[in-house]
Copies of this chain bind each other. A is one copy, B any other.
Amino acid sequence: MKDSYCDVLIIGAGPAGVMCANALAREGISVRVVDKRPENIPAGQADGIQPRTIEVLHSYGLADKLLAEGAHLNMMAYYNPTPDGKGIERTSRAPDVNAPTTRYQYKITLNQTAIEDLFLNSMRQNGLHVERPVIPTNLKISDDETVLNDSKAYPVEVTLHRLSGPETCTMNDTSSHTNVVDPTVELAADNELDERVHAKYVLGADGAHSWVRNQLGIKLEGEHTKHIWAVVDCVPETNFPDIRNRTAIHSNNGSCMIIPREGDLVRLYIQLADAEDLANGGRLDKSLVTPDRIMNVAKRSMYPYKIEFPHEPIWWTVYIISQRVATQFSVKERVFIAGDACHTHSPKAGLGMNASMNDTHNLAWKLIHVLRGWAFPKLLETYDLERKKFAQDLINFDRKLADMFSGKAVTADNMDGVSHEEFQALLRTEGGFTAGTGIQYQPSIITQPGSTTSGSGILVVGQRVPPQVILRVADCRPFEIQDLLKSDAKWKLLFFVGDCKLEKQIALVNAVGEHLQSPSSFLKRYTPKEAAADAVFLILWIARTQKEVADYTDVPKGLRSHWSTIYTDDVAVDGKKGGDAYENYGIGHAGGVAAVRPDGYVGYVGSLKEVLDGHLDEYFSGFMFSSL
């Protein structure tokens, strides 16, 4: 059998897998990705992108196509039973996104194939292709502590088998929310198709039925519910006025959720209220359901509006809602699992694919830091810490939502039902969570609250940097601050230096600059000697000087790597945007500093005085290797 070596082996090329693969490949990490499917899925599966995920994709330069091709969900419509209970009527419309700091005030829907293609195209540009159809047949982690502690060692061994001909695994449905059993794969005896890969790290992003998770013996906690739903992608003909809005229909004839998709496509989630006979201990006999049966339920649910299906559905399935989280997300910080392998839940909040991609967005920069020898391996422990907590919150939210949405609406006959107010209130209070922008990572070596400067605004340690428009001083061009926080595996140091035309402030800038240039500063200690000055830390100066008088030359030449690193917080020349960053972020006139993690989350906030006192150096000393 052939032996080979790579830094990271990724098993599974779904959203979690390709997010990680792309993030590593663009930074030049030695990475391989294998997938058991002979080609990318043609239709179906996940389709919802929440606002925070758009921000993340944008930070990788991948959002443009998504925004251009996907449907934008701006408004949500709520329908409830008419007073006579026979049909439905619109109760209200309200914005679909309820998260004030969100850059994108809408969600996007687009087929999963197109979303995966964003990454696959980017990976191709970095010379990385998914190897398929390939399955892992054996996984072994060294239990030798010396090997495990050796940064140059390859302590994980995975045997890969390339499928060929009749054994090719044609997966019609590997989606996270279906409980159809994977087709059994018969292995060929041909050893030439086998390969033993020695990896420093392995990522199992192989879906709800994760082989990696099973090999590691990691359990899922949680349960199947009794709610059975069908989902169908179709181009209907209808007089329903909200067919292009996300619409929640509570009908006495069954609940229904409408998700508009790209072009004229519509996804319908339809409750099969009388279908408990289909289920058997969490497994569903899909053969008992037909598209006609599903579409007839949809027609009844939407009465008195008419909906017809002149075309065959493009994709459909049935599923029982299951809500489970893995007990751990990594083993020895050498093998990780992510995405559906870690968490399964109902698809209705459109969060599944988002949780998956954000899992590996969280993991990728940590792997890069450790592989480059910049950070201690214990940095990797924060992956399990941060993402398992999020997954548990997700399941808790999903329980509430799924119960409430699968339950009957309150009517004269059914006063115990779900009231419209109750349902809408849940979506409103959980607005930050469902938008993805409300995520708050807990304290750890990389997330350190406690500075006096933090907390009075929307720039919060443990949360992603919220959008604000600032002006580039040299050319007065407005920039969304998020556009300066690219996912390039670098730390961004935002130095808020106040009004640089005040002598006091410019003296402070100079003192900070002297400190940064001293051998004890994080900048000198943790930037490898042979590397570029901004290889690890990109320093941005954000003044609070009027644009008419601000000069990029106010920041001394030795401190600015380029004229494009100096900004100011003022209103743009169009008079419409900018000028609120200090106030909204809760930064005072005296300024302050924020250390932004490579994934866009705030790791540390402090005052400029604290920088001089070495607080920032201390923060980085907790997980970075000194190169001195």
Chain A interface residues toward B at CB < 8 A: 64, 71-75, 92-93, 95-97, 105-106, 239, 241, 243-245, 260, 474-478, 547-549, 551-553, 563, 572-574
Contacts and interface: CB of A to CB of B under 8 A. Distances in A.
Contacts of A574: 105
B474 A243 contact: yes
Given A72-B475, A95-B573, A243-B474, 5 more contacts: A72-B477, A97-B573, A105-B573, A106-B573, A244-B475
Nearest to A550: B241
Nearest to A552: B241
A477 B245 CA distance: 10
8 contacts: A72-B477, A75-B573, A93-B547, A97-B573, A241-B551, A243-B474, A244-B474, A244-B475
A563 B235 CA distance: 13
Contacts of A553: 239, 241
A244 B551 CA distance: 10
A105 B477 CA distance: 10
Nearest to A241: B551
Nearest to A243: B474
B245 A476 contact: yes
A50 B96 CA distance: 37
A64 B65 CA distance: 12
A69 to B, nearest CB: 14
Contacts of A95: 573
Nearest to A557: B239
Contact of A74 (B74, B96, B245, B477): B477
Contacts of A572: 74, 105
Given A239-B553, A553-B239, A573 B74 contact: yes
A466 to B, nearest CB: 14
A263 to B, nearest CB: 10
Nearest to A475: B244
Contacts of A552: 241, 244
B245 A75 contact: no
6 shortest interchain CB distances as A-B pairs: A241-B551, A244-B474, A75-B476, A244-B475, A95-B573, A105-B574
Contacts of A245: 474-476
A244 B71 contact: no
A149 B137 CA distance: 79
Contacts of A241: 474, 551-553
A573 B244 CA distance: 15
A475 B75 contact: yes
Nearest to A73: B475
B239 A563 contact: no
Contacts of A64: 64
A255 to B, nearest CB: 22
A247 to B, nearest CB: 11
A478 B517 CA distance: 48
A325 B260 CA distance: 55
A548 B93 contact: yes
A101 to B, nearest CB: 12
Contacts of A551: 241
A288 B563 CA distance: 36
Nearest to A549: B93
A307 to B, nearest CB: 13
A302 to B, nearest CB: 14
B475 A547 contact: no
A501 to B, nearest CB: 12
A552 B260 CA distance: 15
Contacts of A73: 475
Contacts of A475: 71-75, 244-245, 260
B476 A563 contact: no
Contacts of A549: 93
Contact of A547 (B71, B75, B477): B75
Contacts of A97: 573
A72 B471 CA distance: 12
B573 A92 contact: no
A563 B93 contact: no
A239 B560 CA distance: 13
Contact of A244 (B243, B548, B563): B563
A553 B90 CA distance: 14
A350 B106 CA distance: 39
Contacts of A474: 241, 243-245
